[in-house]
Amino acid sequence: MSHRKPGRLFFANPGPTNIPDSILRAMDHATVDFMGGDFLEVYDDAVAGLKRILFTEGEVFLYTASGHGAWEATIQNLFSPGDHILMPDAGYFSRTWGTMARQYGLEVEMPGTDWRRGPDVARIAERLASDKFHNIKAVCIVHNETSTGVALSMPEVRAAIDATNHPALLLADTISSFGSFEVRMADWGIDAVVGGSQKGLMLPAGLAFTAVSTKALEAHQHAKLSRYYFDWTKMLARRHRSFVGTVPVGPFYGLRESIRLIEAEGIEQVWHRHHRLAEATRRAVSIWSGNQGVSFFCTDPKRRSDSVTAVKMPDGHDAEAVRKIAYDRFNVSLGAGLEPLGGQLFRIGHMGDLNEPMLLGTLGVVEMSLRLARVPLARGGVDAAIDYLATA
Amino acid sequence: MSHRKPGRLFFANPGPTNIPDSILRAMDHATVDFMGGDFLEVYDDAVAGLKRILFTEGEVFLYTASGHGAWEATIQNLFSPGDHILMPDAGYFSRTWGTMARQYGLEVEMPGTDWRRGPDVARIAERLASDKFHNIKAVCIVHNETSTGVALSMPEVRAAIDATNHPALLLADTISSFGSFEVRMADWGIDAVVGGSQKGLMLPAGLAFTAVSTKALEAHQHAKLSRYYFDWTKMLARRHRSFVGTVPVGPFYGLRESIRLIEAEGIEQVWHRHHRLAEATRRAVSIWSGNQGVSFFCTDPKRRSDSVTAVKMPDGHDAEAVRKIAYDRFNVSLGAGLEPLGGQLFRIGHMGDLNEPMLLGTLGVVEMSLRLARVPLARGGVDAAIDYLATA
Amino acid sequence: MSHRKPGRLFFANPGPTNIPDSILRAMDHATVDFMGGDFLEVYDDAVAGLKRILFTEGEVFLYTASGHGAWEATIQNLFSPGDHILMPDAGYFSRTWGTMARQYGLEVEMPGTDWRRGPDVARIAERLASDKFHNIKAVCIVHNETSTGVALSMPEVRAAIDATNHPALLLADTISSFGSFEVRMADWGIDAVVGGSQKGLMLPAGLAFTAVSTKALEAHQHAKLSRYYFDWTKMLARRHRSFVGTVPVGPFYGLRESIRLIEAEGIEQVWHRHHRLAEATRRAVSIWSGNQGVSFFCTDPKRRSDSVTAVKMPDGHDAEAVRKIAYDRFNVSLGAGLEPLGGQLFRIGHMGDLNEPMLLGTLGVVEMSLRLARVPLARGGVDAAIDYLATA
Amino acid sequence: MSHRKPGRLFFANPGPTNIPDSILRAMDHATVDFMGGDFLEVYDDAVAGLKRILFTEGEVFLYTASGHGAWEATIQNLFSPGDHILMPDAGYFSRTWGTMARQYGLEVEMPGTDWRRGPDVARIAERLASDKFHNIKAVCIVHNETSTGVALSMPEVRAAIDATNHPALLLADTISSFGSFEVRMADWGIDAVVGGSQKGLMLPAGLAFTAVSTKALEAHQHAKLSRYYFDWTKMLARRHRSFVGTVPVGPFYGLRESIRLIEAEGIEQVWHRHHRLAEATRRAVSIWSGNQGVSFFCTDPKRRSDSVTAVKMPDGHDAEAVRKIAYDRFNVSLGAGLEPLGGQLFRIGHMGDLNEPMLLGTLGVVEMSLRLARVPLARGGVDAAIDYLATA
């Protein structure tokens, strides 16, 4: 590199996220045989831990893939061509999954929603109630829309389904919620949880998974979509009960360490910490929103995500200018607006291995970058965050 | 870990393979934005280097996946349901790819071959000549069958196709050849090269790719198989011209370093080194084969692979016993026979970041393990390898 | 570890200091022969770079030792028993070096100074002027007293010596200045610069050095103190021109990378950055000092150090309580007051690999910790720092 | 680097030695406060472990220094100017320590010995018996002369001292024995053990120590040599009971891991493994010595070291030519002859983190290099080593 930004990069994109040094070091490991006893011990420990923090005792199918691969795997393994699914369009990612399902020949019903509020659970309930013949095979929900910073209550969705006695599977994308805020797979009756390594698990991208209920495994028996690389049946026949082909070893040294860190802190304390740091972020944004400045993209305060805050620009201001200043001048990486929201918002990720000084440093740079980009704002956002963190 | 094997693990499986320290350290990298300028510089360098050592100027589509994923990607992107392909069954991996293609609705012609010799190229030519209506869309070849240690001459296959003026695409699995012995994509007229990170590139598993010719890209335009995660058209629309979804960053810091190492040594010197170390291995096996001992699984001396040697056990002896001794007592990991060859052979990988003392240490342990497992052998194999290496 | 503090430790002690990842990775290196050609190339590059950023072309003697060892080496190699030196007592470290010199039988004149201002250069000049017979062999100055945050102008000291035409050597401890703010050995006429790896060079502790002028090397010829491990004459006879015994290799992989980072940024830009971040710190402390809160330990604004700020507690408040809160609750490590200043002050290190968000995170935590420890303060310190950094 | 030697460097110098990956990774650690509670836990664990494997309950003074520094520390802390010590001259290192002691004003009696056999213990006993007035304050022994590959029996030396009822302290340099073969400080009545990190402890150079008996601590009370950096009295007053000045943190993360590895294997098993690998080396050298080839430098078979074998060249052959071939062509680093033995021998280190394939790879390269350098030898040395290792 010919240039040099001094100091540590503050990575405040909403994923991938900061990787603790001890995880990076654990993954910095010479090659071992993925069938050898030494590795299998590591593997089994890691997978058992993953189930504990997912609050499930079901199967967890792991893939060498990113989150998109895990969604593809889930669709291929649960459905047959022509199957009907309900996937509310609540943002970039839910729209992507819907499009993907259509590519595979599914009938995808994607009711539009106000992206700034997320799906109306009552309307999901109504739709299920109207589905007298139970054509709908699954309700697919993005637990936390990373593109908008809107989080949904999965228990509410579960209750809506239960209220109608509808047999549809409940699928949840927890990619940017799991490991950051509460996900209780068994208690909440989720049939398939799609997750990845690169957010709350604090690992690099590259490992993704679907955790499944017994009901989902049964549905899998009848699913006729073509598949091979992601085929659960093949996986179940293997010692690892996951993967087709080579099992990567590095990520499991990392995952074992990730679980150790999470459990040393306590999963509920992890959730609490995320909430606290998210709330500090919201205090800052609330202040900055004075003087017709930036605002919350999510208009429903109860749905503002504990892992990512999307900050909407005032009219006539480009979020990319703010991001560029933060990155070029202060070595802080913020998340961009994803199409069609490009330029309209930036996103502050506050997930994973984060603490107060990391957040305050990030917020300080956001405040400076807004000022330098001449975005109107009321000052004192960082002060408000300090105030909250010193007393909460 | 409650136990401890002292000293370094000698990893002599035929892939994944030894990862140089400088690659592991390069990958031991904090998270960066995969859209950020600093990373894109690394990414572009790495991909340009990959093309140089593939001897292609075409597109290279990269996936977060293992080799199986890359094969699936290649099938999905090149074919339509019902397409007819020719895939000689020459071992575990070619059989696997054929089965995979059938799962996706292709007509797969899998002529059986003598696994100990590999496909008869003349018969491929005959088959193409007989295909008057050019139903066969592609000839799919495993360049180096990792399961048997049999390598094929791709130029011979190319010549066979050319001799018949058949328009079929030529697809090659170079997973265990690329980076170890000669692969010249453009000169050899290969339309799709399937490769992975975890062999000659000396990286961990997790990154796989298809390099494609212009002819293959045209075929892609008409390919109707469902796809999303691996869809080339989506990839072409992205800045990275690869990946759907998250781009992993660590592997590209590693790949850039891998290219640097390969080019510092010189790709032709890398091939020469592999040949030299493979030949030393063969000298040892030749000696051991005395006294009705072990033998080469590959019966055609010209086709014995420069990246892996499969060693066949004499009747009544179990290869797993040898592997277990090597691993448990001497910390050397050898490759197992893959079904249906389990127990009948073990495989010595001699690929990637390997030199003379690493190989001699491995061969020394193989000789000890054969003795300890009471497998008949003529002694002096290591001596023969030393003799060769000291004079060649 | 049974506990876990989430997120990154913010290490704001005034040394050792934050080590960039690329330096840690460079040092994470397998053993090589310190006499081998590969290593000597690294070594020579690193040492040449060190001389460039010291602005010297003289010898630099390196030791496997901490800064105390480098001082011992300097004394042993320059003096004989009974030699008279002048070492103003300006804080913990200058006092330590004086005591050390006395242990070795030197006559050490240690005029007391106001620790909150540092030595009066005019008095040094007077003392030299009065030394008609040139008994004083050396003037020993701590360029930056890490214990007090008071920095001295070396050119002023040089001028004072020159004004008297006194032949004394000028020795400078630059342990906490070099690499953080301006040190120009040749231009400033310093005869021996004592430095270490663990501050501005951003390396772990363990490598220390003395850079010497020709005049110092001549003085060495007549120095009669016993020495072996640190003996410069033995070092000059070696290929490495440094070290007695084993040459450590890891630190030189690190030092080469450190030089690369410093020169990629530009040494003058490094100094400028330190000044800017120090000034932001001072803006915060200035605000906090309202309401009879904390104050600067250094009473002379021109001498406030650009690498460390010592913050004095108001009467009746214990600095250790503040440090404990910052460390236990927020994972920020601040420097303690060194005896006899224990409890009276804490120190904020702002040196090495530091940027705006790292500093703002630290200052945010200091503000919270002061509040939580019920230390009086005017709020808004972080805001003032943001204000300065956004506009300067 | 413009060149590239493929594969792993085989580091067979007799120290520093191979560092296990897990130790390198443990040391690849961000800066922490050496006074902070988290670090002190690591530190205390590491030091307690070090005492266990030294078989002592006494003080262990640790230094940021190499082995030479530890010897200097030991001399400074135990003696006064004019003190008389007995230090048999058995090789490069014992000669060095004697010279060092003379520099500090001691009367050093250095009886010459046959370097190919080491000191005659009976003559030590005679000398002590003749010292009626107990002028001799200490007997200083190099347990394992790294320069010659000759190891001495410390219990024999102890018995010789005891037989004469002489009150002299017994000092032992165990730098290249400790952690490789038996050292039992308390049982063997050693008063000061000098050791370092970079041999059997499998750490980088940079940490050295003296472990002391109660008797040595008493002697320290009366020792009048000047000292500061290495002063035990200052160390005893510190929380760490070691170091003057900065305490390095990285080495203690490494040392804790080193102890874990040693104890997971079992210290007696570590000794056994070293013996076994040394014996295999000797089998090879014995074979090579045919045809008037190389020979053992150590002429007493009972004293051939279990951590290093010095191989003497036949007349007219230069050891450096062999070393150069091994290093340049095969990436194996062997130890040189130290003056005055330069060119007359090379040394094979077989200590630390070593196993059978590592040793066999090294021996294979030695055999090839001897042949390529046209040194007479009987072939089959590696075969003999294999034979031994497969059956012992």
Question: CA geometry: angle at C234 spanning D174 and D143, to 5°?
Answer: 10
Determine the residue among D5, D11, D22, D33 to mutate to test chain C binding: the one whose Cβ has the most chain C Cβ atoms within 10 Å: D33
Q: What φ, ψ does residue B196 adopt, rounded to 5°?
A: -140, 175
Put simply, whether C367 touches A (Cβ < 8 Å) is: yes
CB pairs under 8 A between A and B: 163
Closest residue in C to A263 (Cα–Cα): C4
Q: Assess whether D249 and D357 both reside in one domain.
A: no
Determine the residue among B66, B83, B224, B243 to mutate to test chain A binding: the one whose Cβ has the most chain A Cβ atoms within 10 Å: B66
**Does residue C204 sit within a domain?**
yes
Check residue A392 and give its pLDDT.
Answer: 85
Domain count, chain B: 2
Rounded to an integer, the average pLDDT of C36-57 is 97
Rounded to an integer, the average pLDDT of B308-320 is 98
Determine the residue among A25, A27, A29, A253 to mutate to test chain D binding: the one whose Cβ has the most chain D Cβ atoms within 10 Å: A25
Pairing of strands B192-196, B144-145: unpaired
Check residue B2 and give its pLDDT.
Answer: 43
Closest residue in A to D29 (Cα–Cα): A21
Q: Assess whether C119 and C232 both reside in one domain.
A: yes
Please list every residue in chain A whose beta carbon sits closer than 8 Å to the beta carbon of residue B16: 31, 34, 246, 249
Indicate yes or no: CB of A226 within 8 angstroms of CB of B64. Answer: no
Q: Among partner residues B41, B64, B228, which is closest to A64 by beta-carbon distance? A: B64
**Does residue A221 sit within a domain?**
yes
- Assign residue A360 the CATH number of its domain: 3.90.1150.10
By the 10 Å C-beta count (0-12 exposed, 13-18 middle, 19+ buried), C376 is classed as middle
Indicate yes or no: CB of D362 within 8 angstroms of CB of B359. Answer: no
pLDDT digits (tens, 9 = 90+) for D247-284: 999 999 999 999 999 999 999 999 999 999 999 999 99
- Alpha-helix runs per DSSP H in chain D: 21-27, 37-54, 67-78, 92-103, 121-130, 154-163, 214-221, 232-236, 250-265, 267-288, 319-330, 356-372, 381-391
How many Å apart are CA A346 and CA D201, to the nearest integer?
51
**Considering only CA atoms, which of D193, D159, D169 is closest in space to residue D53?**
D193
Q: Are A305 and A149 contacting, i.e. CB atoms less than 8 angstroms apart?
A: yes
**Does residue B2 sit within a domain?**
no
Quote the minimal CA–CA distance from D54 to chain A in Å: 30
Q: Assess whether C192 and C46 both reside in one domain.
A: yes
Q: Are D304 and D278 contacting, i.e. CB atoms less than 8 angstroms apart?
A: yes
Over 70: is that where the pLDDT of B134 sits? Answer: yes
Average pLDDT, chain C: 97
For chain C, give the percent of residues with pLDDT over 70: 99
Average pLDDT, chain D: 97
Please list every residue in chain A whose beta carbon sits closer than 8 Å to the beta carbon of residue D358: none
Q: How confident is the model at residue B3 (pLDDT cuts 50, 70, 90)?
A: low
Put simply, whether A162 touches D (Cβ < 8 Å) is: no
Largest CA distance in chain D: 65
- Assign residue D236 the CATH number of its domain: 3.40.640.10
Instruction: Find chains touching chain D: ≥3 CB pairs under 8 Å.
Output: A, B, C
Closest residue in A to C367 (Cα–Cα): A386
User: Residues 1 to 30 of C: which have CB under 8 A from any B CB?
Assistant: 21, 25-26, 28-30
How many Å apart are CA C91 and CA A199, to the nearest integer?
48
Check residue C2 and give its pLDDT.
Answer: 43
Over 80: is that where the pLDDT of C1 sits? Answer: no
Please list every residue in chain B whose beta carbon sits closer than 8 Å to the beta carbon of residue D1: 264
Place of tokens 């940021």: D64
Indicate yes or no: CB of D228 within 8 angstroms of CB of C24. Answer: no
Structure tokens at C25: 């990775």
Quote the minimal CA–CA distance from C75 to chain D in Å: 11
Q: Assess whether D44 and D174 both reside in one domain.
A: yes
**Considering only CA atoms, which of B275, B280, B60, B282 is closest in space to residue B180?**
B275
Check residue C3 and give its pLDDT.
Answer: 63
Q: Name the domain boundary from B263, B287, B304.
A: B263
Q: What φ, ψ does residue B218 adopt, rounded to 5°?
A: -65, -45
Quote the minimal CA–CA distance from A369 to chain D in Å: 29
pLDDT digits (tens, 9 = 90+) for A31-45: 999 999 999 999 999
Rounded to an integer, the average pLDDT of C83-89 is 98
Rounded to an integer, the average pLDDT of B126-132 is 97
Q: Among partner residues B204, B226, B247, which is closest to A105 by beta-carbon distance? A: B226
pLDDT digits (tens, 9 = 90+) for A136-176: 999 999 999 999 999 999 999 999 999 999 999 999 999 99
pLDDT digits (tens, 9 = 90+) for B207-217: 999 999 999 99
**Alpha carbon C279 to its chain's center:** 18
How many Å apart are CA B346 and CA B339, to the nearest integer?
12
Largest CA distance in chain B: 65
Q: How confident is the model at residue B241 (pLDDT cuts 50, 70, 90)?
A: very high
How many Å apart are CA C278 and CA C288, to the nearest integer?
15
Q: Assess whether D224 and D288 both reside in one domain.
A: no
**Does residue C2 sit within a domain?**
no
Please list every residue in chain A whose beta carbon sits closer than 8 Å to the beta carbon of residue C264: 1-4
Q: Which amino acid is at B19?
A: I
Q: Assess whether A206 and A319 both reside in one domain.
A: no
Residue numbers of the domain that contains B373: 10-16+266-391
Indicate yes or no: CB of D18 within 8 angstroms of CB of C30. Answer: yes
**Does residue D54 sit within a domain?**
yes
How many Å apart are CA C122 and CA C120, to the nearest integer?
5
Place of tokens 């047959």: A80
**Does residue D154 sit within a domain?**
yes
Q: How confident is the model at residue B352 (pLDDT cuts 50, 70, 90)?
A: very high
Check residue B99 and give its pLDDT.
Answer: 97
Q: Among partner residues C355, C368, C383, which is closest to A390 by beta-carbon distance? A: C368
pLDDT digits (tens, 9 = 90+) for B171-204: 999 999 999 999 999 999 999 999 999 999 999 9
Check residue C77 and give its pLDDT.
Answer: 98
**Does residue D4 sit within a domain?**
no
Over 90: is that where the pLDDT of D152 sits? Answer: yes
Residues in chain A with pLDDT values less than 50: 1-2
For chain C, give the percent of residues with pLDDT over 90: 98
User: Residues 228 to 247 of D: which have CB under 8 A from any C CB?
Assistant: 228-229, 243-247
Check residue C247 and give its pLDDT.
Answer: 97
Q: Among partner residues A36, A226, A247, which is closest to B104 by beta-carbon distance? A: A226
Task: Return the axis-axis angle of helices A92-103 and A67-78, rounded to nearest 10°.
Answer: 40
SS3 for chain B, per residue? CCCCCCCCCEEECCCCCCCCHHHHHHHCCCCCCCCCHHHHHHHHHHHHHHHHHHCCCCEEEEEECCHHHHHHHHHHHHCCCCCEEECCECCHHHHHHHHHHHHCCCEEECCECCCCCCCCHHHHHHHHHHCCCCCEEEEEEECEECCCCEECCHHHHHHHHHHCCCCCEEEEECCCCCCCCCCCCCCCCCCEEEEECCCCCCCCCCEEEEEECHHHHHHHHCCCCCCCCCCHHHHHCCCCCCCCCCCCCHHHHHHHHHHHHHHHHCHHHHHHHHHHHHHHHHHHHHHHCCCCCCEECCCCHHHECCCEEEEECCCCCCHHHHHHHHHHHHCEEEEECCCCCCCCEEEEECCCCCCHHHHHHHHHHHHHHHHHCCCCCCCCHHHHHHHHHHHC
Q: Assess whether C57 and C153 both reside in one domain.
A: yes
User: Residues 41 to 80 of C: which have CB under 8 A from any D CB?
Assistant: 41, 64-69, 71-72
Partners of A12 in the β-ladder: A334
Q: Report how far apart, in Å, the C-alpha atoms of C42 and of each of B26, C34, C38, C256 are.
A: 18, 10, 7, 7
Q: Name the domain boundary from D214, D236, D263.
A: D263
Q: Assess whether A95 and A200 both reside in one domain.
A: yes
Q: Assess whether C224 and C105 both reside in one domain.
A: yes
pLDDT digits (tens, 9 = 90+) for C22-35: 999 999 999 999 99
pLDDT digits (tens, 9 = 90+) for C156-202: 999 999 999 999 999 999 999 999 999 999 999 999 999 999 999 99
**Does residue A223 sit within a domain?**
yes
Indicate yes or no: CB of A367 within 8 angstroms of CB of C389. Answer: no
Place of tokens 């004083």: C136
Q: Name the domain boundary from D263, D287, D310.
A: D263
Structure tokens at D355: 């196993």
Weakest-pLDDT range from B2-16, B85-99, B155-169, B230-244: B2-16
Q: Assess whether D31 and D174 both reside in one domain.
A: yes
Closest residue in A to C262 (Cα–Cα): A4
Check residue D392 and give its pLDDT.
Answer: 85
Check residue B168 and give its pLDDT.
Answer: 98
Structure tokens at A103: 């590519």
Q: Which amino acid is at A213?
A: S
pLDDT digits (tens, 9 = 90+) for B44-60: 999 999 999 999 999 99
Q: Assess whether C283 and C235 both reside in one domain.
A: no
Over 50: is that where the pLDDT of D2 sits? Answer: no
How many Å apart are CA A68 and CA A93, to the nearest integer?
9
Q: Assess whether C167 and C311 both reside in one domain.
A: no
